[in-house]
Amino acid sequence: MRATQEFFTARAAHWETRFPDDAPRYAQAVQALVLAPGAHAVDVGCGTGRAVAPLRAALGAAGQILAIDATPAMLAEAQRLGWGALTALAVADALRLPVPAAWADVVFAGGLLPHLDNPAAALTEWARVVRPGGALAIFHPLSRAALAVRHNHMPSDDDVLAAGRLRALCAAAGWQVTSIDDSAERYLALAVRRSAAAAL
Ligand SMILES: C[S@@+](CC[C@H](N)C(=O)[O-])C[C@H]1O[C@@H](n2cnc3c(N)ncnc32)[C@H](O)[C@@H]1O
């Protein structure tokens, strides 16, 4: 965790300017969730808050958003950008969310999963906080192959975003993956929280 915080602390101030063309991709990813006004969302690993405005647009004034991140400098940047007016911002670990069970209608995880040492535990925690029938979006504003290049490795079937591995991890954690769009402009996996009965 300390290494992650150091990595993102060093990049926080320039995060938005590094990827200036990504904003529409976040908006389209949130739109793909078809969220109801008044719904509850958790933006895990929210960084500088690039998903916050689209989430607020989808949920309306009655919706509730909790945006958490492990790196205070990323949250400080989100606050500086004004996102604190649209969401609660909190320092927290994506594996221990400060949220009651089944509170959320959706978890949005942008750019996060490959950074986690224990993605299985994260998916389990996100399943805890999402009500049955609720949704999960695992999003990157670029393809899996382009992300692998950015992270200096070749894509492999062992990657957490590889379709087979992600589907297996999600199934074990209580999610059913309904679609994976791995295209030039985005990687977006959508999953539905299974009910306990459906899991039997
Ligand atoms: C690649 S950035 C993505 C930020 C933002 N979601 C976006 O799409 O621009 C990954 C973020 O995840 C955060 N992060 C990494 N591990 C985390 C953890 N265990 N719990 C919470 N946040 C974490 C980092 O601090 C960083 O801000």
In what helix (H) or strand (E) does residue 66 lie, and over which residues does it extend? strand 64-69
pLDDT of residue 14: 85
pLDDT, tens digit, for every residue of 26-83?
Answer: 999 999 998 999 999 999 999 999 999 999 999 999 999 999 999 999 999 999 999 9
Distance of alpha carbon 146 from alpha carbon 186, whole angstroms = 10
| pLDDT value of position 41 | 98
How confident is the model at residue 200, as a pLDDT? 45
CA 92 to chain CA centroid, Å, is 14
CATH of the domain at 116: 3.40.50.150
CA-5 nearest atom, ligand 1: 25
Q: Which domain holds residue 81?
A: 2-199
CA of 113 to the centre of ligand 1 (A): 9
CA of 176 to the centre of ligand 1 (A): 23
pLDDT value of residue 17: 83
200 CA to centre of ligand 1 in angstroms: 33
Which ranges of the chain have pLDDT less than 70?
197-200
The crossing angle, in degrees rounded to 10, of helices 119-129 and 163-173 is 50
Which pTM value belongs to this model?
0.96
Domains in the chain: how many in total? 1
Could you tell me which residues come within 8 angstroms of residue 119 by beta carbon, excluding any fewer than 6 positions away? 113, 160, 169
pLDDT at residue 50, as a whole number: 96
Pick the residue whose CA is nearest to atom 25 on ligand 1. 71
CB atoms within 10 A of CB 136: 28
